[in-house]
Amino acid sequence: MTALIDAWQAALAAEHAAIAGYDVLGPRLDPAHVGLARADQQAHRALRDATSAALAAAGQTPVAAQPDYPLPFAVTGPATAQRFALNLESAGAAAWRYLIAVAADSPQLPNPTLRADAQVALTSSAVRAMGWRRLVDPARPTVPFPGI
């Protein structure tokens, strides 16, 4: 069960990172996309809270947010802020996809809706990523397998 809990905690950690990341990119976006960023950050807050509550209900101590998250590249203006948002959503999708894979191999789940909840989270991240990807690479707004 440790691998499952580790994957679940990693998904929560990805939500913490996304919330912090949107704080970084928000002021660097052009005004037309600030509302999108705020909505996406709020979605991550809701998912973080639900995931923390589910972990606690399963008798686990939810992983805490880190005091700081290193940036994968310099976020200096609207274009890099959009790329960073896409990066955040892709990382979230990967974390939730991994949890689904680990949960599929687990005979007993600590939460009966864990796989379904992870699938909803993966799908939500993929949809948010598509919103950013259409700005970053309009010719390729979707990917065949989000989170891979």
For the chain, domain boundaries = 2-136
- Of 133, 125, 137, 135, whose CA–CA distance to 41 is shortest? 125
Q: Would you state the pLDDT for residue 123? A: 96
Q: Which residues of the chain have pLDDT under 50?
A: none
Q: Report the CATH fold assignment for 2-136.
A: Ferritin (1.20.1260)
- Residues 21 and 76: their CA atoms lie apart, in Å, by 13
The type of residue at 19 is I
Q: Would you state the pLDDT for residue 53? A: 97
Q: Would you state the pLDDT for residue 108? A: 84
Is this prediction's pTM over 0.75? yes
Q: Would you state the pLDDT for residue 1? A: 58
Rg (CA), the chain: 15
Q: How far is CA 137 from the centre of its chain?
A: 20
**Cβ(93)–Cβ(147) under 8 Å?**
yes
- Residues 39 and 29: their CA atoms lie apart, in Å, by 14
- Of 74, 76, 41, 62, whose CA–CA distance to 110 is shortest? 62
- Residues 82 and 85: their CA atoms lie apart, in Å, by 5
